[in-house]
A and B are shown apart, each in its own frame.
Chain A
Amino acid sequence: MTAVIETEGLGKRYRRLWALSECTLSVPAGHVVGLVGPNGAGKSTLLNLAAGLLAPTTGAIEVLGAPPPARPAELAKVGFLAQDAPVYAGLTVAEHLTLGARLNPGWDAEFANRRIDWLGLDSGQQAGQLSGGQRAQLALTLAIGKRPGLLILDEPVASLDPLARREFLEDLMEAIAERELSVVLSSHLMADLERVCDYLIVLVGSRVRVAGPVDELLATHHLLTGPRRDPATLPAGQQVISASHTDRQSTLLVRTSEPVLDPAWTVSAVGLEDMVLAYMRQAAGGGRRRDRLEVQR
């Protein structure tokens, strides 16, 4: 499995505060990778480091097998949609496309024009007057229009309303469907990523809590319900992610590659969202207050 982003002990400090520390992870190629974690987990810092906007304080990071892009040829291979989708408020939609064409030798004008038409954006309108969703779409068009091999989206839907979120992600899937493109997108809400990504990395407090293809994760995580029982007595192959108990009953989320054979348990499937929340809660239980998870929706 080749990696599009590979980090080793990566750390980034702003003055005295570590935004990311000792982060070691690998983002595989050929996937739509969801990077999920609570606010403050270091997702944004990690992606900005990968885009070459920031310099790491410690550790190493490789993007497409090389240091983060700095030269034109390297920059051309990485598309980046920054958080809040910044665009030039005074430039029109059409001028943004001109910008893309002028600054990127591999610019796909046909795609960009078609996409703007299809989105129904008025090419003469100033970008500052676009809605949040339209702005994100424009910025995404620029990021894809340069024909990158890796597309990095930093919280692309965080500032959008629920309807715009869904539309944006559907459009994203459509836009990348016919391209040989690896995609990494981050969010603090699993629900955003559930529909689009086929590979998941849960990052809490700079640490990867779980990573893997979505279908594999779903196949190996089970919700066990049964008579109250101490989780420590489970078989060795079953890793307990979360446990809750009533007087008589225990509900456990376990990860195991083996089938659960104990007839005392009622085994049910677990959704991605519950699974991710369980990992976040597990990490938060470790005593780091700033990793408290967000429950906003």
Chain B
Amino acid sequence: MTWLTWRQFRPQAVTALAALAVFAILLGATEPHLASMYATSGVAGCQGGACGAAARNFLLTVSGAYTIVFMLGIACVIVAPALIGVFWGAPLIAREFETGTYRMAWTQSITRARWMAGKLAVPGLAAIALTEGLSLLYGWWAAPIGQAARLAPGSNFPLGMSPFSLLAFDAHGIVPIGYAAFGFTLGVTAGVLIRRAVPAMAVTLVIFAAVQVAVPLAIRPNLFPPAHATQSLAANFSGQQQEGPGGEFSLTVDRLDSQPGAWIYSSHAVNAAGQPAGVMPAACVNPPDGDSMPCLASHGFAVAVTYQPTSRYWPIQWTETGIYLALAALLAGFCYWRVGRRLP
């Protein structure tokens, strides 16, 4: 059975290997230069306040073509599971129904359950290997940029600022394994139920895209309860600040000084008592130099931050991967059961 599955899968495998090779060549050709720039930038061994400047300088030197590769790499890793679901998963069984070859396959001397298991195993494992391979390659390439972007507030690489950044999280670590397994089995399931390849491909794409939008926005933030911290208004406040003529003001930050890379859920200004504040004291309104920050700081104002600590990165990666793998196992089990019994 493995032979037949492998033989049927061979054209897709060749395409996938070619894509992986192109990706590897692109990253492999640019990585040495990137690494040498990082080594000479001084970001690696920096101390305290010097880090921000060094990181910002480094990121400015790697802009341009590297920005494109940086974004392209993320896009490849994120799109791969969707393409796998659409082009490997959906036609896998649907095409057998369309061409009638299932009637030949199911009347050989092996059970349908075994046939299905072989069909799932070979392309399924290849899907996981391919996606995780892309992700590891990309992670290796993008590591210097990620390191620097975490140290340089407001840099030109917003996605690198935190490992939790929306698209960056999806392209690193082990979650690509879960996405690949889920995308593939989702496609197979659509094909088993719809039995026509093109509609199954469309349904796969729509459902997969919906899940990939819903999980980061609605589920990932709630996997672990966030932590709370108060960040004082340092001299070099790097957040956003808005002021109104009557002293109304708001302060938000997109990074936590004490923990670069933490995932900021929300932030707002608080007064010395720790209560939410929206109006500044009269003394601080319209300061002569235009900067009300030192005044606010001296009155004990600060920014309260709700965030996910960087230490939660791997627990969240594992949990989310587990959720996707469980979904994939459910779908694979359904296909196995559905094909194993006689057609109704």
Residue numbers of A with Cβ under 8 A of B are: 48, 51-55, 68-73, 75-76, 78-80, 82-84, 86-91, 95, 98-100, 102-106, 139, 142-143, 146
In this assembly, does B225 line the interface, its C-beta being within 8 Å of a C-beta of chain A?
A: no
Counting CB contacts under 8 A, is B8 at the interface? yes
Interface string of B3-23 (1 = CB under 8 A from A): 110011001000000000000
The 7 closest A-B CB pairs, nearest first, are A55-B342, A82-B103, A103-B108, A86-B100, A80-B107, A76-B109, A104-B109
Instruction: Known A102-B1, A102-B3; judge A146-B100 contact (CB<8 A).
Output: no
B204 to chain A, nearest CB (A): 22
8 Å CB contacts to A: which residues of B238-255?
Answer: none
Q: How far is the CB of B121 from chain A (nearest CB, A)?
A: 16
For residue B343, CB closer than 8 A to chain A, the reply is: yes
Interface size class of B (residues with CB under 8 A): 20 to 34
Given that A54-B343, A99-B4 are contacting pairs, would A80 and B110 also be in contact in the complex, using a CB cutoff of 8 Å? no
Q: Is the interface of A mostly helix, strand, loop or mixed?
A: loop
Contacts A75-B109, A75-B110, A104-B108; is A80 near B11 (CB within 8 Å)?
no
The CA-CA distance from A68 to B106 in the complex, in Å, is 12
Complex alpha-carbon distance, A135 and B3, angstroms:
22
Q: Which of A51, A103, A139, A146 contacts B1 (CB 8 A)?
A: A103
Q: Which residues of B contact A82 (CB under 8 A)?
A: 100, 103-104, 107
- Give the chain A neighbours of B342 by CB distance below 8 A: 52-55, 68, 70
28 A-B Cβ contacts within 8 A? A51-B107, A53-B106, A54-B343, A55-B342, A68-B342, A69-B107, A73-B109, A75-B110, A78-B107, A82-B107, A83-B100, A86-B99, A86-B100, A86-B101, A89-B99, A90-B8, A90-B11, A91-B8, A99-B4, A99-B7, A99-B108, A100-B108, A103-B1, A103-B109, A104-B109, A105-B109, A142-B104, A146-B109
Q: A53-B103, A82-B104, A146-B109 are in contact. List 15 more A-B contacts (CB 8 A).
A: A48-B103, A52-B107, A53-B106, A53-B342, A70-B111, A88-B8, A89-B99, A98-B3, A102-B1, A102-B3, A102-B4, A103-B1, A103-B4, A142-B104, A146-B108
Question: Which chain B residues lie closer than 8 Å to A79 at the CB level?
Answer: 107
Bound Cα distance from A170 to B71, whole angstroms: 65
B interface vs A, CB < 8 Å? Answer: 1, 3-4, 7-8, 11, 99-101, 103-104, 106-111, 341-344
In the complex, the chain A residue whose C-beta lies closest to that of B344 is A55
Q: How far is the CB of A74 from chain B (nearest CB, A)?
A: 9
Q: How far is the CA of A89 from the CA of B100 in the complex (A)?
A: 11
CA distance A149 to B194 in the complex (A): 35
How far is A124 from B4 in the complex, measured between Cα atoms in Å?
17
Q: How far is the CA of A294 from the CA of B4 in the complex (A)?
A: 39
Complexed CA–CA distance, A142 and B108 (Å) = 9
Given the complex of chains A and B, what is the CA–CA distance between A98 and B7 in angstroms?
Answer: 11
Cα of A73 to Cα of B100 in the assembled complex, Å: 23
User: Taking the nearest CB of chain B, how far is it from the CB of A49, in angstroms?
Assistant: 9
Docked complex Cα distance between A70 and B11 (Å): 31
A154 to B310, CA, bound (A): 64
Q: Which residues of A contact B1 (CB under 8 A)?
A: 102-103
**Most A Cβ at <10 Å: residue of B1, B103, B107, B108:** B107
Which of B1, B99, B341 has the most C-beta atoms of chain A within 10 angstroms of its own C-beta? B99
CB distance from A98 to the nearest CB of B (A): 7
- B7 & A91 in contact (Cβ 8 Å cutoff): yes
User: Please, which residues of chain B bring their CB within 8 A of the CB of A80?
Assistant: 103, 107
**How long is the Cα–Cα vector from A252 to B341 in the complex, in angstroms?**
50
Residue of B whose beta carbon sits closest to that of A128:
B99
B4 to chain A, nearest CB (A): 6
Once the chains are docked, how many angstroms separate the CA of A90 from the CA of B8?
8
Alpha-carbon distance A51/B342, docked complex (angstroms)? 11
What's the minimum C-beta distance from A89 to chain B, rounded to whole angstroms?
7
A106 close to B107 (CB less than 8 A) = no
Q: A99 — which chain B residues lie within 8 A by C-beta? A: 3-4, 7, 108
State A122–B303 Cα separation when bound (angstroms).
78
**Contact partner of B101 among A88, A98, A105, CB < 8 A?**
A88
Question: Nearest A residue to B114 by beta-carbon distance?
Answer: A72
A83: B residues at CB distance < 8 A: 100
Given contact pairs A53-B343, A55-B343, A72 touches B110 in the complex (Cβ within 8 A): yes
Could you tell me the distance between the alpha carbons of A55 and B8 in the complex, rounded to whole angstroms? Answer: 28
Shortest Cβ distance from A152 into B: residue: B107
